[in-house]
Amino acid sequence: MIERNNVGQEKALLVGVIQPGMTESLIHEHLDELELLAETAGAKIAGRITQRVSKINPATFIGKGKAEELLNQAKELDVKLIVFDDELSPGQIKNYHKISDNVKVLDRSGLILDIFHKHAKTKEARTQVDLAYMEYLLPRLTRQWTHLERQMGGIGTRAGMGETQIEIDRRLIRTRISKLKKELIRIEKERDTQSYRRQSEFRVSLVGYTNAGKSTLFKALTGSDVYIQDQLFATLDTTVRQLQIDESHPILLSDTVGFIRKLPHNLVASFKSTLKEVLEADLILVMLDISSSQIEDHFQTIENVLKEMGAQEIPQILVLNKVDLISDGNMIEKRQREFPDSVTVSAQQHLRLSELKSRILGKMEENFQTIDLEFSYDQGKTIAHAQEGVEVLKREYEENGVKLRIRGSQSRINQILSAVE
């Protein structure tokens, strides 16, 4: 296994850069989130630094003089880890390692990848995180990551004449990326098989900003014993359970990995098989923490990720969670005006969940379709298939065949029609 940025138990200095058009208060809000991320990774926060710049320096992001000041402050505080709230280019990371003298410099993407690696439990999640990490690491190789052959096994890793250690490391990573991509293709085929079996059911996917309470709502609705922890990215795997809205409206509800501002692009790409549950959903529940001062920023982040995935056209219900944390009625009304079509709930206290179920039921009714079909008696298998996963409203046996009137979700009806044609 390739050596990673081991953030755990290290003292960290956080850096927020105020670019033109940004306010200092906004950067401090972003640093609050970065602090949560760093603590989730296991780091101890030694301090924060904000730096205003008129433009981004291509070599060090904040300018060589400011970079040296930053490293000196780290030494004074006995800090071995500096974390930027922005993504640094591969060249900027390498430049810092040339001048940092045993102080590691990490950007936001690297920190998020570290957290994902710590929380990846299943083989699928580990494969996805490993691929994202390798693709992030490849252009950023420095002396910080050395002797990868010792960690990945020695077969085929001996240096050729004139081949430097970093060239060996690059070759090892490219080989690993190739293997991981093949493994993810296999995993995706397995998911496609499972997905096909579930096409007859109405599918609802929970998405939201990390720590918005998705897993708590999932448990409240389904009664499922899912892992819940007050921590960013506590779970990375999609969990799917059946939810019975009423006797004639069963749905499949899925809980997916949380989104976050500046989510690394290669993570979104690597988690394509996991996030496919969202793409194949008939309805998306978009969850937000109503008590958060950054709710609008969080909403925009979610919409941007859904757009990047190609899921922006799927019907949505906006769910404002954690209403029990707000005692000011005026604030609740303000949020409801800002998000007029939302449902306000408390997953923790099970408040107003019946209203949410009613809204889901309404969306299901909009999605459902009723059709009439006729079959000859020699189409026994097709007749049986047409009655699976739908409500049979009428069944008539006539001299020349069988007439059916069925009602079901749009996706299931389309599946039946394609089999009949």
396 plus 309 within the same structural domain: no
CB under 8 Å, gap of 24 or more: what pairs does 349-353 form?
Answer: 349/324, 350/220, 351/323, 351/324, 352/323, 353/220, 353/221
**What pLDDT does 10 receive?**
82
DSSP annotation string for 200-237:
TSEEEEEEEBTTSSHHHHHHHHH-------SSTT---S
Domain stop point among 97, 115, 133: 115
Establish if 324 belongs to a structural domain. yes
Q: Is residue 2 part of a domain?
A: no
As for how many domains the chain has, the answer is: 4
Q: Is 275 contained in some domain? A: yes
* 245 and 308 co-located in one domain: yes
C-alpha closest to that of 325 among 354, 346, 350, 352: 346
3 within some domain:
no
One domain for residues 15 and 160: no
Domain, as residue range, for 391: 368-420
Amino acid at residue number 235:
T
Residues facing 218 on adjacent strands: none
Same domain as 36, residue 145: no
Q: Tokens representing 301?
A: 């982040």
Tokens of 354: 């019946």
Q: Which of residues 57, 86, 115 is at a domain's end?
A: 115
Residues 169 and 278 in one domain: no
CA gap 132, 126 in Å, rounded: 10
Task: Answer whether 322's CB lies under 8 Å from 290's CB.
Answer: yes
Say if residues 61 and 85 touch (Cβ distance below 8 Å). Answer: no
Residue 273, pLDDT score = 59
Q: Within 10 Å of residue 247's Cβ, how many Cβ atoms?
A: 6
| Any domain includes 274 | yes
Q: How far apart are CA 375 and CA 378, in angstroms?
A: 8
Integer Cα distance of 141 and 212 in angstroms: 35
Is residue 358 in a domain?
Answer: yes
Q: Which two tokens stand for residue 184?
A: 């993810």
Within a 10 A sphere around the Cβ of 319, how many other Cβ atoms?
Answer: 25
Q: Which of 194, 225, 246 is the last residue of a domain?
A: 194
CATH number of the domain that 405 lies in?
A: 3.30.70
Q: Does any domain span residue 148?
A: yes
Q: What is the DSSP letter of 57?
A: B
- The residues that bridge with 402 in the sheet, in sequence order, are 375, 397
pLDDT along the chain (421 residues), means of 10: 50 94 90 90 91 94 92 91 93 87 86 82 81 86 50 34 67 90 83 56 87 89 67 64 77 84 72 73 94 91 88 93 92 94 95 94 87 93 87 91 89 83 71
Looking at the fold, whether 230 and 351 belong to one and the same domain comes out as: yes
Same domain, 294 and 158: no
Q: Determine the pLDDT at residue 238.
A: 72
Q: Between 295-309 and 329-338, two packed helices, what is the crossing angle to 10 degrees? A: 30
Query: What CATH number is given to the structural domain containing 230?
Result: 3.40.50.300
Helix (H) or strand (E) holding 54: none
Do 293 and 266 reside in the same domain of the chain? yes
- Same domain, residue pair 306 and 241: yes
C-alpha of 116 from chain center: 10
